[in-house]
Structure formats: C-alpha cells, structure tokens
Amino acid sequence: MINKTLYFCLLILVPIMLIGCAEQIEEPTKYATDHEGIQAAERQTKEIKRKETEITLAAIGDMLIHSPVYQDAKTKDGYDFTPMLSLVRPFLEDTTISIANQETMIGGEELGLSSYPAFNSPFEVGDALKSVGVDVVSLANNHTLDRGEEAIQRAISHWEQIDMMYTGAYKNEKDRDSIRVYETEEGMSLAFLSYTYGTNGIPVPLEKAFLVNIIEKERMAAEIEEAKSKADVIVLSLHFGNEYERMPNAEQKDLVQFAADHGVHLVIGHHPHVLQPVDWVEGKDGNQTFVVYSLGNFLSNQDGLYKRIGGILQVTIAKTEEGRSKTIEVKQPTFIPTYVTRSEKHTNFKIVPMYQLSNSQLPGFVAYYQEIKSHMSQWVPELKFVE
C-alpha cells in the first residue's frame, strides 16, 4: 500500500518537475534578448547625443562712401546703391550670415551728407546692404565720431528700423552691455564684437563711452568671456593696422594672438584700405583662430590699384555636440577678390569680382589677379578662390 502511494506521488511530481525544468531552460534565451535590446538602446542613445551642424559666413571690407559714390547713387526719389552691388550679391546671399564693415555713419540726408574727412552717408547705404544679404554691420572705426553723437543715433535708429544687427557703436549703456548674438535657423549662435584703435583724435565723451568701442584688452577680455557664455561662435572685428600697408604690423599680430588666447574663432580686420593676408593663429589652449588681417576697401572712391581691390571672405563653421562636449571648427576658407570699376568722371561705380574683369576695365587684370591670390594665400596655401 505504501509502495502504491509512493508510486502515485512520483507520477504526479515528475511532470511538475519537468515543467519547472522546461521553464528554467527557456530563461537564458529571454535574458539574451533583453540584453541585446539594452545594447541597441544604448547605441541609439549615443547616436542621438552626437549632433553636427554647419553654417557659412561671408565678410566684406570697408563701405567708405565718398561724395562721388553717393552722388552716383542719387535718384529722383533718394539714393540707390544696389546696382553697385549687383555682381557681388550672389556671394553674400548664398551664405548663412554676412557681415560688412560700415565705415561711414549713415546719419541720413537731413543731417547733411558729407565726405572725407568727416563722413555722413545716406540711409539708403544700409538699405542696399540689407537687400543684397548682409545681416550684421560693424560700426567701430576711426570715422565713427566724425559727425558726433547725432549721426550715430540717427544711424542706429535706421539700422533698427530695417532690422539690421549692429555692433561696435551703441545708443546707450544698456545697448552696449547687450552682447550681439545672432541665432541661425540651423541651431548655431554667433556673437559679434567690434573695436577700433581710435577715432581720428576726436575724444570719446567720458560719460558716453558707449558711442564707440575702443580697443582695450581688459574690457575686450571680459566681453569675449561673456560672449562665450552666450554663443557658440565668437566673431571679432578689429579696426587696426597702418593705412595702405599690405602686411600686418606687430601690434596687429599681438592683438590677434590675444584674441586667439581668449578663444575667439574668427578675426576680421579693417582700416588699412588694402588687402592683408589671411592666417591661422594658435591660441594658448591649442585652439585655431582664423584671421584676415585686412579686407581692404569694398566700395569707395579712393585712387590707386590696391585701394580699389577688396574682397569677400567666406568660411564654413562646424559645430559638433556629443554629450555635454561641444567643439567649433572654422574651415574651408574661400576668398573672392573684388575691384571697384568706375568711369573717368567717377560715375558708374560697380564692385566686380576680379575673375570677371576684362582688360578694358583693368588692363592686365590677369596678372594683378594672380598677384592678389598669391598675396592673400601666402600663409594659408589651402585658401580657395571662387572663379
């Protein structure tokens, strides 16, 4: 009787044990599937965290509006400078953001237009720049105070009216303290800073230092640091160097090294009224800063071959984000040399890409064009030219 009972119990227990074993055999397969899913999710998370963004930036030199230039732009309804810019428009419109050095204040006709040595230009200069794709203007230069505060305030009012970002000259202290940050649709932010070596001996009012930014390393360092906390990219415009000298001097190189050491990504130079070369400058942390020491005159009535040659700098700026780290790289520098054509009577001004010139516009232009290309790329052999 005991044996029968034991046998019966065994018959019941064995299937139960087999079922339990079957469940244990299936478990490793389930674990492997879950583990693979976790690994896939981790890979996907890493891929999501890495993000790459690219934009392009263009920069042009001095908009130096002498009286023959604005007289040539005169129409029955005001002034129109856009025909002068028509051939260079494509190179300013096809970049994400473009910046110009507006050397003369656009105080408007009501203030009284004037030329060298105390400039005041029509509002329509700003309208033309806006229409051909310029997004930012640098206003800190040696002519900023030419016609006093009234010209500056009138100019700023018009820049605001046409929704143009300006930097380097301001309407008040609060305006100066607001770092200019341009947010692109691609998701990259650029801070624009601008400073000049001086104002042609015209003193900056002590109580109104906001009217123009002067090159002062201590303040510049503080504003660069503030800009770094607010933007991905730092673009610094410097009005410096010796007029009509085709190579940068020691002071220019020192200031660019200072900028590189403080993490500036791009330095755009103005004032010499002639082209000076581009270069890479290594900062103290091993970072690379790209500089064009002078972009020369873009539009002016100055005489002399090299004073009529300017150019358009184009660069690509890449931002790579991975986790909490972010890197910025300026790359693919490109240059388009330009030449200001005009009639013998100083009319019909037009900015022409040099590769589009003819011998009737500039006899022997091919040799001059090759010389300019060699001049600009002497320190950066990889500099490309659009032609």
- Supply the pLDDT for residue 38: 57
Least confident of 8-17, 88-97, 122-131, 172-181: 8-17
Structural domains in the chain, sorted by start = 52-385 (3.60.21.10)
User: In this structure, what token pair is assigned to residue 214?
Assistant: 């002067």
Which secondary-structure segment (H or E) carries 254? helix 250-261
In sign, the C-alpha dihedral spanning 275, 354, 313, 93 is positive
Instruction: Give which of 268, 272, 290 is closest to 281, Cα–Cα.
Output: 290
Which secondary-structure segment (H or E) carries 334? strand 325-341
- Supply the pLDDT for residue 14: 40
How much is the average pLDDT of 91-116? Answer: 98
What is the per-residue pLDDT across 317-366, written as a single tens digit (0 to 9) for each?
A: 999 999 889 999 999 999 999 999 999 999 999 999 999 999 999 999 99
- Supply the pLDDT for residue 94: 94
The share of the chain scoring above pLDDT 90, in percent, equals 87
- Supply the pLDDT for residue 110: 97
Least confident of 29-33, 76-80, 99-103: 29-33
User: In this structure, what token pair is assigned to residue 98?
Assistant: 């473009």
